[in-house]
Structure 1
Amino acid sequence: MLEYRVSARRIDAHESVADCKDATVVLDTDIKGRRDAFNPAELLLAAVAACMIKGIERVTPMLKFDLRGVDVRLIGVRQDSPPMMASIDYELIVDTDEDDRRLELLHQNVRKYGTISNTVAAATKLQGVIRRRT
C-alpha cells in the first residue's frame, strides 16, 4: 500500500500552508476568505481534477489515445446541515480527434481507476460527462 504525507500549519489568522515533498501550497483558512488561495472545498475539487488528469496521463499510452489537452471543470454543492459536499459535477473537455467510442472508453478508465475520485464518489454524488473540445 502507498502512503502519502502532507503537513500543514497555521501562519496566522489569515493563512496556513501545506507542505509535501518540495512543494508548498498556501491555504485559505481566513474566516473571511482569501481570493489568492484555495479554501478546503476548492482543494477537494482541485484534488479530484488532478486525479482525473493524472488518470488520463496514465491510461492514454496504454490505450494509444491521441490527446492534445484536457480541461476539467467542477462544481461542488455544499449543504449546510450537516456541512458536507452534497454533490460534485464535472466536465472533462478533451482535445482529441479520437471517435466517440474511444472518448467514452477514456472516461470509463478515469472513473474506474481514480484513487481520489473513487474515494470522493464513495462519500458523495460524483457525476460528470466527457466531451470533445470544439
Structure 2
Amino acid sequence: MSDTAQKMHFHVQAQRVDAHGSLAHCKEAKLELDTDLAGRKDAFNPAELLLAAVSACMLKGIERVTPMLNFELRSVEIHLHGIRQDVPPKMESINYEIIVDTDEPDRKLELLHNNVRKYGTVFNTVAPGTILQGTIKRKH
C-alpha cells in the first residue's frame, strides 16, 4: 500500500467577494471571511480563524478520546487568547483554557488534556511555530 493511500486529504476553496470580505467553501459548507483591511465584526479574520481551528481541533480530539477513556462529560468550553507580533508578522503565542463540566477525577481530566495535546493535527501543526500552552479545569 502506498504512503499517500493512508493519508487524509483536505480541500478548501476561497474567493474574494469584494473589498470587505471573502468566502471559503468546503464540502457543502461555506464560511464568510473578514478580509476587509478595516476589519469586520460579523466574520472571522485570519488570526481568529487560526484560533478557531485550534479550538475545533481540541474539541474534535475530546470527542474522539472520551469514549476510549470512558470519560463522561456534560459540556466543554475552550477560551483562547492569541498575541500577534508585527515583525515578522506571526502569531507569537496562543494561550488556552479548556473548561470541562464533568464528575471525572482529576487524573482522568489531566489524561484528557494530554490526549488533546498529543493527538491534535492542527494543535501539533501550530505548536512548533508558536508558544501554545494552556490548562484544563473543571467547571464549577
Class of the TM-score when normalised by the shorter of the 2 chains: over 0.9
In the comparison of the two structures, how many residue pairs are matched? 134
Q: 2:55 aligns with which of 37, 49, 60?
A: 49
Matched with 2:128 is: 122
Between the aligned residues of both structures, percent identity stands at 66
Q: 1:18 aligns with which of 18, 21, 24?
A: 24
CA distance in 1: counterparts of 2:21 and 2:109, whole angstroms: 41
Cα RMSD of the aligned pairs, angstroms, is 0.4
CA distance in 2: counterparts of 1:68 and 1:61, whole angstroms: 14
- SS at 2:84's partner residue? strand
Matched with 2:80 is: 74
Does residue 32 (structure 1) correspond to residue 52 (structure 2)? The answer is no
What 5-or-longer segments of structure 2 have no aligned partner? 1-6
Q: For 1:48-105, what per-residue CA distance to the aligned partner results, in whole angstroms no more than 9, with x for missing partners?
A: 0000000000000000001111000000000000010000000000010001111000
CA distance in 1: counterparts of 2:51 and 2:111, whole angstroms: 23
Q: 2:104 aligns with which of 76, 98, 108?
A: 98
TM-score by length of 2: 0.95
What 5-or-longer segments of structure 1 have no aligned partner? none
TM-score by length of 1: 0.99
CA distance in 2: counterparts of 1:57 and 1:69, whole angstroms: 11
Give 1:123 deviation, angstroms: 1.1
